[in-house]
Amino acid sequence: MLPRTQRQKEILDYITRFSERHGHEPSYAQIARSIGVKSRATIAKHIAALERRGLLIRTHEDGSFALTVKVDDPDALCEVKLLGRIAAGTPLDVVECNETVPVPRFLLGSVRPERVYALRVKGDSMIDEHICDGDIALIENRTEARNGEIVVALLIEENQATLKKLYRRGTNVELHPANSQLQPLTLPASQVAVQGIFCGLLRSTN
């Protein structure tokens, strides 16, 4: 079953990404900030609607909840296209390939597999978000991003791509690393194109 409204989808997608990244669910206040609303009561109504649709299950009387992803088989895999490399450091020239990688379906949450592609990470500029050199980043194919989201940013003039947190500052865009040793990159907004939003991670255990 799918969310009934676009706002419910945004909330469900945010909870999914947050839970995968941090290992626990976000607070109502965090969800409210993520979608740009002030009222936690509004979030509570959307959460209740998602619960009625079987997409969220409350686990405690204090109102906390756990995310339930509706898949037929929790061990199911799906194939995601591996399109090339992405820099988590100095931007890289865009390099394409035509491989696929198997991805546990539950990692994608409510995002359909056909809307996701994968990129191999090179560099350590996002290490504070636990995105390391050699990891495979799962990217939702979207061109709109909210401030603070981790994006695939194409630097148009250089035809180079990088994985960074995006913030809009007037007519400029700031691309922030998640590494205290590195500085953000500031560019005119017209020179940056969002090509996807980070939504999950695969890491080799070898």
- Residue 44, sorted as left (phi over 0), alpha (psi -120 to 50) or beta, turns out to be alpha
Number of domains within the chain: 2
Residue scoring higher pLDDT (129 or 87): 129
Query: Is residue 1, in this structure, part of any structural domain at all?
Result: no
Query: Is residue 153, in this structure, part of any structural domain at all?
Result: yes
Q: What is the pLDDT of residues 188-204, one digit of tens each?
A: 999 999 999 998 888 86
Q: Looking at the structure, tell me whether residues 178 and 85 fall in a common domain.
A: yes
Query: Is residue 47, in this structure, part of any structural domain at all?
Result: yes
Q: Could you list the active site residues?
A: 125, 164
- Residue 62, sorted as left (phi over 0), alpha (psi -120 to 50) or beta, turns out to be alpha
Structural domain including 189 reads 77-202
Q: What is the pLDDT of residues 6-46, one digit of tens each?
A: 788 888 888 877 877 776 778 888 888 888 888 888 988 88
Q: What CATH number did the domain enclosing 92 receive?
A: 2.10.109.10
Q: Looking at the structure, tell me whether residues 137 and 61 fall in a common domain.
A: no
Q: Looking at the structure, tell me whether residues 118 and 178 fall in a common domain.
A: yes
DSSP, res 105: G
Query: Is residue 114, in this structure, part of any structural domain at all?
Result: yes
Q: Looking at the structure, tell me whether residues 105 and 31 fall in a common domain.
A: no
Q: What CATH number did the domain enclosing 48 receive?
A: 1.10.10.10
Residue scoring higher pLDDT (86 or 171): 171
Alpha-carbon span 135 to 163, nearest angstrom: 12
Q: Looking at the structure, tell me whether residues 49 and 18 fall in a common domain.
A: yes
- Domain end position, chosen among 23, 44, 67: 67
pTM: 0.62
Whether 135 contacts 150, CB under 8 Å: no
Alpha-carbon span 57 to 102, nearest angstrom: 28
